[in-house]
Amino acid sequence: MTAIMNLKFDVSKYQDKCIIQKVLHHAKIIAVVGLSSNVLRASYFVAAYLQKNGYRIIPVNPRETEILGEKCYASLVDVPIAIDVVNVFRAPDFLPDIAADSVKIGAKNLWCQYTVVNKLGGQIAEKAGLSVVMDLCMKVEHARYMGRMHWLGFNTNRITSLRGPVK
């Protein structure tokens, strides 16, 4: 039923460029739900990239004990520190529960990677005041707005010579 509901869901409301830039500029601690220790998995290289770019990564995966030098937690509610962004690498059907846990722990933002699209999950987070980004990769958006993607000739949809935070 959830998959059918998401087929007609317009995700563009969760792809606001200003929100994306604010999240990237202000976040410091990112909980990655579904982070794998397998270096070939997208979750691993996205988290490794973000860690190398100054973010603290908190792995959330009940099957792991440590990833990228950080203790791994079984669920978001087990994480003992404040989280700025919950970055989700799980199937869309898990998103409503992850959104509810994000609200419960007081996270400020919910970021759902490519194909992690769930209308109810977005609504739960948004209703509680979290900024929501959906169906975009945090690594790609970081490279677009804060990295050197424009040097390679990519259209970053950003016209500025400044690299400071979005106001």
CATH number at residue 78: 3.40.50.720
User: 166 in a domain, yes or no?
Assistant: no
163 located within any domain:
no
Other Cβ atoms closer than 10 A to 167: 6
Per-residue model confidence (pLDDT) at position 9: 84
The domain tally of the chain equals: 1
Listed in sequence order, the residues at least 6 apart from 53 whose beta carbon sits closer than 8 Å to its beta carbon are 142, 146, 147
The domain of 15 spans 2-152
- 6 domain residue, yes or no: yes
Query: Span 28-34, mean pLDDT?
Result: 98
In a domain, residue 35? The reply is yes
pLDDT at 8: 72
Q: Specify the residue for token string 């973010």.
A: 55
Judge whether 10 lies within some domain: yes
Residue 144 within a domain: yes
Contacting residues for 56 by C-beta, under 8 A, at least 6 apart: 28, 29, 30, 70
As a whole number, mean pLDDT of residues 3-10 equals 64
Of the listed ranges 7-21, 24-38, 71-85, 146-160, the one predicted with least confidence: 146-160
Q: Is the pLDDT of residue 100 over 50?
A: yes
Q: Is the pLDDT of residue 68 over 60?
A: yes
Q: Which of 10-14, 50-54, 101-105, 153-157 has the weakest average pLDDT?
A: 153-157
Average pLDDT over the chain reads 90
Residues 86, 102 contacting (CB under 8 angstroms): yes
Residue 158 resides in a domain: no
Please report whether residue 126 resides in a domain.
yes
Residue 137 in tokens: 């990769």
- pLDDT mean over 124-145: 96
Q: What is the pTM of this model?
A: 0.87
Encoding tokens for residue 20? 């994306």
